[in-house]
């Protein structure tokens, strides 16, 4: 198993970049990025369009050489052409890389052979990869007849035939149906359970939040924050927004709520009350008690906690979705 192997060799860091810089002409696409990916984790690279995610990944894959900085893979210095290190990685590129005129199965055989997998082992691995992405029954069909989601899944299978220890996925769920998207997210989790290390790039905060163990937020090529989601959210310390919808509201209720410990702000909007409060400082049951004491009834309550989006907003003043 990949993790055990790595730990035996004393390698806990599968990827380590130090001060990686990559320019296109005058434009700095990756700006002094130091990244550490640990063995067995799903590492999220989150950033808006043009943040430098694909460029960073291309350097890790040896497809681009950095202008300065160092890259280590599996504990060894990587200069971009060490085949022994490249063979331990798999990639699901942002833009599909499958051959439309070969069947699903022939595609996987092709990619497997590129990595030197042959004979019976190749047949077995191709079967397993098709099974894993749920395409066994369509193995003999041409991908040009597939939906976008199925093509993506085939592309993922193609990256798995040689059983990489490190899988790099560049926005693998963009533009596909929700069912395929869920299938892909589940597959990524399953791969981690099997011991694989995964680098997952996305500009979807929800995705990164649901599957990644640790996250780096990139903006204009720079690492602006890194840590687990919990750590990142704690870092911005933004308040919770609690909205209560009531059957009726008296001014005294608003005054009372305003005075509760932890409440930073309290606003009334017809029969809705919106409270801003320090994270985890208010209990909903206490709020409901207060409101009921005035003869009002809570019809519904909604609590919004700070998210990765708030982290990005706090640090850049812009929305991740721009």
Residue 203 interacts with which of ligand ATP, Mg ion, none, CB < 5 to 8 Å by class:
ligand ATP
Using rule CB under 6 A, residue 52 touches ligand ATP: yes
Q: Which of residues 65-94 bind Mg ion (CB under 5 A)?
A: 94
Both tokens of residue 238?
């933004």
Using rule CB under 6 A, residue 73 touches ligand ATP: no
Looking from the CA of 280 toward its CB, the CA atoms found within 13 Å total 3
Residue 52 interacts with which of Mg ion, ligand ATP, none, CB < 5 to 8 Å by class:
ligand ATP
Core vs surface per residue 177-203: b (16+ CB within 10 A) or e: eeebbebbbebbeebbeeebbbbbbbb
Report the first-to-last Cα separation within the chain, whole angstroms.
Answer: 41
Residue 49 interacts with which of ligand ATP, Mg ion, none, CB < 5 to 8 Å by class:
ligand ATP
Residue 127 interacts with which of ligand ATP, Mg ion, none, CB < 5 to 8 Å by class:
none
Contact 183, 134 (CB under 8 A): yes
* Distance of closest approach, residue 315 Cβ to ligand ATP, in angstroms: 16
Nearer to ligand ATP, 46 or 232 (CB): 46
Using rule CB under 6 A, residue 66 touches ligand ATP: no
Q: Which of 17, 39, 55, 226 binds ligand ATP (CB under 6 A)?
A: 55
Torsion of CA 85, 1, 169, 204, to 10 degrees: -140
Give the contact letters, 261-290, x = binds to ligand ATP (CB under 6 A), - = no.
------------------------------
d(CA 256, CA 244): 14
What does residue 33 show for φ and ψ, rounded to 5 degrees? -85, 125
Contact 281, 262 (CB under 8 A): yes
Both tokens of residue 119?
């004979």
The strand pairing partners of 131, in sequence order, are none
Nearer to ligand ATP, 197 or 201 (CB): 201
Nearer to ligand ATP, 51 or 98 (CB): 51
Residue 280 interacts with which of Mg ion, ligand ATP, none, CB < 5 to 8 Å by class:
none
Core vs surface per residue 105-129: b (16+ CB within 10 A) or e: bbbbbebbeebebeeeebeebbeeb
Looking from the CA of 58 toward its CB, the CA atoms found within 13 Å total 16
Using rule CB under 6 A, residue 29 touches ligand ATP: yes
* Alpha carbon of residue 75 to chain centroid: 24
* Distance of closest approach, residue 221 Cβ to ligand ATP, in angstroms: 7
Give the contact letters, 192-221, x = binds to ligand ATP (CB under 6 A), - = no.
-----------x------------------
Q: How many residues bind ligand ATP (CB under 6 A)?
A: 13
Q: Which of residues 90-119 bind Mg ion (CB under 5 A)?
A: 94
Q: Which of residues 33-62 bind Mg ion (CB under 5 A)?
A: 53-54
Q: How many residues bind Mg ion (CB under 5 A)?
A: 3
Using rule CB under 6 A, residue 49 touches ligand ATP: yes
d(CA 97, CA 100): 9
Q: Which residues bind Mg ion (CB under 5 A)?
A: 53-54, 94
């Amino acid at each position: 198993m990949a993790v055990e192997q790595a730990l035996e060799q004393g390698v806990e860091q599968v990827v380590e970049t130090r001060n990686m810089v990559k320019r296109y002409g005058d434009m700095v696409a990756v700006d002094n990025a130091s990244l550490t990916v640990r063995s067995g984790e799903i590492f999220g690279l989150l950033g808006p369009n043009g943040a430098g995610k694909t460029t960073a990944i291309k350097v890790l894959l040896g497809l681009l050489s950095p202008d300065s900085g160092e890259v280590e893979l599996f504990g060894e210095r990587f200069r971009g052409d060490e085949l022994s290190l490249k063979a331990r990685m798999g990639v699901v590129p942002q833009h599909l890389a499958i051959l439309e005129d070969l069947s699903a199965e022939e595609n996987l055989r092709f990619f497997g052979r590129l990595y030197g997998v042959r004979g019976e082992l190749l047949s077995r691995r191709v079967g397993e990869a098709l099974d894993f992405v749920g395409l066994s029954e369509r193995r003999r069909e041409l991908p040009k007849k597939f939906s976008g989601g199925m093509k993506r899944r085939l592309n993922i299978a193609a990256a798995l035939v040689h059983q990489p220890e490190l899988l790099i996925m560049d926005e693998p769920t963009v533009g596909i149906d929700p069912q395929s998207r869920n299938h892909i997210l589940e597959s990524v989790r399953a791969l981690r359970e099997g011991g694989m290390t995964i680098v997952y790039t996305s500009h979807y905060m929800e995705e990164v939040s649901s599957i990644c163990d640790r996250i780096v937020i990139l903006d204009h090529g720079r690492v602006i924050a890194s840590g687990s989601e919990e750590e990142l959210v704690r870092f911005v310390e933004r308040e919770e927004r609690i909205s209560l919808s009531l059957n009726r509201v008296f001014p005294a209720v608003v005054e009372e709520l305003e005075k509760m410990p932890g409440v930073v702000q309290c606003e009334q909007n017809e029969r809705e009350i919106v409270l801003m409060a320090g994270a985890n400082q208010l209990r909903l049951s206490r709020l409901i008690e207060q409101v009921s004491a005035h003869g009002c009834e809570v019809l519904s309550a909604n609590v919004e906690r700070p998210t990765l989006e708030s982290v990005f907003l706090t640090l850049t003043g812009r929305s991740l979705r721009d």
